[in-house]
Amino acid sequence: MIVVGGGVVGLTTAVVLAERGRRVRIWTRDPVERTTSAVAGALWWPYHIEPVAAARAWALRSLEVYERLAGRPGETGVRLVDGAMGETDPADVESWAAGRLPVLRRATAREYGAGTAVWTRLPLIDMAVHLPWLRERLLRAGGSVEERVVSDLAEADAPVVVNCTGLGARELVGDASVRPVRGQLVVVENPGIDTWLVSTAPDGAMAYLFPQPGRLLLGGTAEDDVWALDPDPAVAEAIVRRCAALRPEVAGARILEHRVGLRPVRPAVRLERTELPDGRLLVHHYGHGGAGVTVAWGCAEEAAALAASP
């Protein structure tokens, strides 16, 4: 079978399929380092993804996998890290996380300041390590990855085709309901922060700090229908300012890199089995918004079940 798309969704789906004994080829327009997935922070949290109930279920299944992968952080890029999720109530989280999140409690004033926040331990994934690790895991399971632009899914010469093209699906299958939500990040030298923090101001402005090995990721933005991939210096400055208001030591940190990515947001993730015009099986699997990493394994298992022969 052919999986079109080699971001976190395509790679994870391909790994699940290959490890179930299928012969899997990935066709991808971009090398994994240049996908949206490589831009992600990446904290496990079902943010900006619909439908909410399904996303939470996929996220909790993925959590089990990430917890196991966190046993080998250097190899997989997955670590379990404590931090504060602002403007969130522990009881609300507990209503869906159902005892699955460790050390879940209200953050103290020292941890979060005046607002209400949840303190918990979540997977924090270093995509610079995790994506190449997924690719290697796929190759070890007998799969392959080929750089190739697809202009029609019927080009894929396999009995089963899985469409994991993210925002690319907009053009590839003419789905105007998948739209970009632009996110910008600033990567700085870490001044010694070892917990993550996410905060949303009353006007909706986000600030988040994700410590990754050797660097600190500062975010963020969420701009609907904006396609610009160049980092905006004024936006970067505002991100650093908002983060420094929460953690003053960030103010003078040396900037290492600016990043921009377009979240593939859709009114609902498209996870659906259909047919190509010639009757071959086609599974659509895209539109994971701001949480593709968070839900990757739960979704991949469902996509793999849909891709199983009738």
Q: End-to-end alpha-carbon separation of the chain, Å? A: 14
Is the backbone of residue 98 left (phi > 0), alpha (psi -120 to 50) or beta? left
**Residue labelled with tokens 């602002």:** 86
Q: Which is nearer to ligand FAD, 91 or 149 (CB)?
A: 149
Instruction: Identify the residue among 166, 190, 199, 284 touching ligand FAD (CB under 6 A).
Output: 166
Peptide bond into 51 cis (omega under 30): yes
288 binds ligand FAD (CB under 6 A): yes
Q: How far is the CB of 252 from ligand FAD (least distance, A)?
A: 23
Q: Which two tokens stand for residue 157?
A: 């010469």
Query: Near ligand FAD by CB under 6 A, which window of 16-24, 29-37, 79-87, 91-99?
Result: 29-37
Among 185, 209, 239, 281, binds ligand FAD (CB under 6 A): 185
State which residue, 40 or 84, has the beta carbon closest to ligand FAD.
40
By CB under 6 A, residue 76 contacts ligand FAD: no
DSSP classification of residue 7: S
Burial of 42 (0-12, 13-18, 19+ CB in 10 A): buried
Min CB(310)–ligand FAD separation in Å: 26
Can residue 145 be called a binding residue for ligand FAD (CB under 6 A)? no
* The amino acid at 71: G
Shortest distance (Å) from residue 248 CB to ligand FAD = 24
Structure letter (DSSP) for residue 107: P
- Please report whether residue 162 would count as binding ligand FAD according to CB under 6 A: no
Q: Six-digit token pair at 134?
A: 């997924």
- Judge whether 15 and 141 are in contact, CB under 8 Å: yes
- Residue 90 vs 298, nearer CB to ligand FAD: 298
Q: Where along the sequence are the contacts to ligand FAD (CB under 6 A)?
A: 4-10, 27-30, 35-37, 39-43, 149-150, 164-168, 172, 183, 185, 220, 261, 263-264, 286, 288-294
